[in-house]
Structure 1
Amino acid sequence: MDRFIIHNLFGIEGFNIAWYGVIIGCGMILATAVATWRAKKAGYKTDVIIDFVLFAIPIAIICARIYYVIFEWDYYSQDLMSVFAIREGGLAIYGGVIGGIATAIGFCKVHKFPILKLMDFAMPSLLLGQIIGRWGNFVNQEAYGNLITNPDLQFFPYGVYIDDLQEWHQATFFYESFANLILFILMMLLVRKVSKDGWMLVMYLTGYGAIRFVIEGFRADSLYLMPGVRVSQLLSAVLIGIGIGIGWGIRSGRLRSREYHGSYLLNSDEKSGEAQ
């Protein structure tokens, strides 16, 4: 299919709107809507999510670009201006995740909002955005896996046909999207049963870390730290370790949210209005 939904917008030659951008945008909107709904249901103003997202999205995009450029520096060092040609592609989800979490830490410090509570609102939504966003890889025919030579296995969703290569490859973008959907469902089921803040962060770090570690092993376009060492697998292992550590801290009581009495709390009148 055509990777652009609109060609030459406003009559400007080359100013195209890509399906990838539209899909990512839809993922962001839906993810934000779910997070605001959950925050309001928990007794907080939707402003806490909106204010956070206004900073988190641009910072996450910048970090996703920086992450990609760092590990593809041999290419970008030949033309430094190409570093800013983000419309040509080149974003890494882990860079975005790191940028988003760093923004959350700064946001919570400034507004004195419990970081674990904000993470519990954000993590399922982040995962939902990734579930949707991976379908942008389908349109762009990227993030695919190993070559499939067996004709009996040349079917979707096990494989995907890559037009430029005239070959069937493993549909790793779909594997990750589907596995993330299962994890998202588990998180939404568990969120009602946990009393301590932070478990959604633990589930994301350990669950997505494990999913990405396994699926990255099938990818044909991985970023490498050195021969044989895939960057995403190494980072996945680190995130799993951090998630386990945070989980131990929450369970032992060493990590817990402080009582919040700030401006993002819904007052009694607003709560009664919601009930009506």
Structure 2
Amino acid sequence: MESILLAIDPVAFNIGPITVRWYGIIIVTGIIIGYFAAQAEGKKRGLPEDFFGDLLLWALPISIICARLYYVIMRWDYYGANPGKIIEIWNGGIAIHGALFGAVLTVYIFCRVKKVSFLKVADIAAPSILIGQIIGRWGNFMNQEAYGGPVSRGFLENLFLPDWIIEQMYIHDLGTYVHPTFLYESVWNFVGLIILLIFRRANLHRGEIFFSYLIWYSIGRFFIESLRTDSLYLFGDLRSAQVVSVTLIIIGFVSIFYRRWKVRPVVRYLDE
């Protein structure tokens, strides 16, 4: 049984010369589930039936491009010397913060064109973003990537993890078990999803679900990033993901307090 567990293959199947990886399947699954969740909630909140479908056609490719650009910029010492490698996204190298920036910018412009409140759409979509992140991190599990520093097998067993996760956290090139940071983030985001769904029922001020997402995700990412061994650095030991996380936490809190203090009339999540 152990040999089977150790043989988790990141490749799902091949179609001729095309290799289909579990990473891609899992990412797409997260996007699809998140899309249907946003679509259902959007209909309840009075958005056109095709709103999120049309939005996704723009947001998905732009997010991928921005995720790649962010990574390339953070690794410019390598890509500046090897510009031909910039487009080789199939060899890995994307960053969730780049995707998030691209998605938010796309949604903002799309909403301006459609004359729909950006914050209304952002509130509706925030839980779906977490759904995508919860599921998507398991793509990292299949690839044995985005993990943390060395730990003992006993440490992982004390987390009450099943053997199939523990075995996948053994990195042969390192000869050691590692922190399952993909799992930490996936669980953190799952808790965040529950909180955001509760906030929906609490009928918070418009925008506060989205800003709560920024705060919650960024707090978890800040601490989890400190465990990872594949971080992107701005300079020295300053990790870019932690800097961005702190920035987003500040933006989230300031936006909530400012809008509660200044914005009138008050519009809540369940208002049309």
- TM-score normalized by structure 2? 0.88
**3-state SS in 2 of match to 1:165:** coil
1:130 paired with 2:130, answer no
Give the equivalent residue in structure 1 for 2:111. 108
- 2:254 counterpart letter in structure 1: G
- 1:225 counterpart letter in structure 2: L
Deviations along 1:2-47, one digit per CA (max 9) or x if unpaired, are 111112x1x22xx201110000000000000000000111222222
1:193 paired with 2:196, answer no
When residues 186 and 154 of structure 1 are mapped into structure 2, their CA distance, relative to the original with a 3 A threshold, is closer
Structure 1 residue 199, shift from structure 2 partner: 1.3
Q: How does 1:212-223 map to 2 (within 5 A)?
A: 212-223=221-232
Whether contact under 8 Å (2:153, 2:177) holds in the other structure is no
Structure 1 residue 152, shift from structure 2 partner: 2.1
Structure 1 residue 162, shift from structure 2 partner: 1.5
Q: How does 1:1-276 map to 2 (within 5 A)?
A: 1-7=8-14, 9=15, 11-12=16-17, 15-148=18-151, 150-155=152-157, 157=161, 160-254=169-263
Deviations along 1:55-93, one digit per CA (max 9) or x if unpaired, are 111100000000011111222223212111111111100
Structure 1 residue 251, shift from structure 2 partner: 1.4
Structure 1 residue 255, shift from structure 2 partner: 7.4
Instruction: Structure 2 unaligned segments of length 5 or more: list them.
Output: 1-7
Structure 1 residue 250, shift from structure 2 partner: 2.6
How many residues are aligned here?
255
State percent identity of aligned pairs.
40
- 2:58 counterpart letter in structure 1: F
Whether contact under 8 Å (2:23, 2:143) holds in the other structure is yes
- 2:139 counterpart letter in structure 1: G
Structure 1 residue 133, shift from structure 2 partner: 0.2
Instruction: Structure 1 unaligned segments of length 5 or more: list them.
Output: 259-264, 266-276
When residues 35 and 227 of structure 1 are mapped into structure 2, their CA distance, relative to the original with a 3 A threshold, is same
- 2:23 counterpart letter in structure 1: Y
What is the CA–CA distance in structure 1 between the aligned matches of 2:154 and 2:149, rounded to whole Å? 15
Whether contact under 8 Å (1:115, 1:257) holds in the other structure is no
Structure 1 residue 257, shift from structure 2 partner: 8.3
When residues 256 and 26 of structure 1 are mapped into structure 2, their CA distance, relative to the original with a 3 A threshold, is farther
Deviating above 6 A after TM superposition, structure 1's stretches of 4 or more consecutive aligned residues are 255-258
**3-state SS in 2 of match to 1:20:** helix
Deviations along 1:185-239, one digit per CA (max 9) or x if unpaired, are 1101111112421111111111111110111111111111111100000000000
Deviations along 1:96-136, one digit per CA (max 9) or x if unpaired, are 00000010111111111101101011111011100000000
- 1:128 counterpart letter in structure 2: I
What is the CA–CA distance in structure 1 between the aligned matches of 2:100 and 2:264, rounded to whole Å? 21
- 1:123 counterpart letter in structure 2: A
Farther-moved stretch of structure 1 (31-40 vs 103-112): 103-112
RMSD value, Cα: 2.0
Farther-moved stretch of structure 1 (27-36 vs 71-80): 71-80
What is the CA–CA distance in structure 2 between the aligned matches of 1:216 and 1:43, rounded to whole Å? 38
- TM-score normalized by structure 1? 0.87
Structure 1 residue 163, shift from structure 2 partner: 2.9
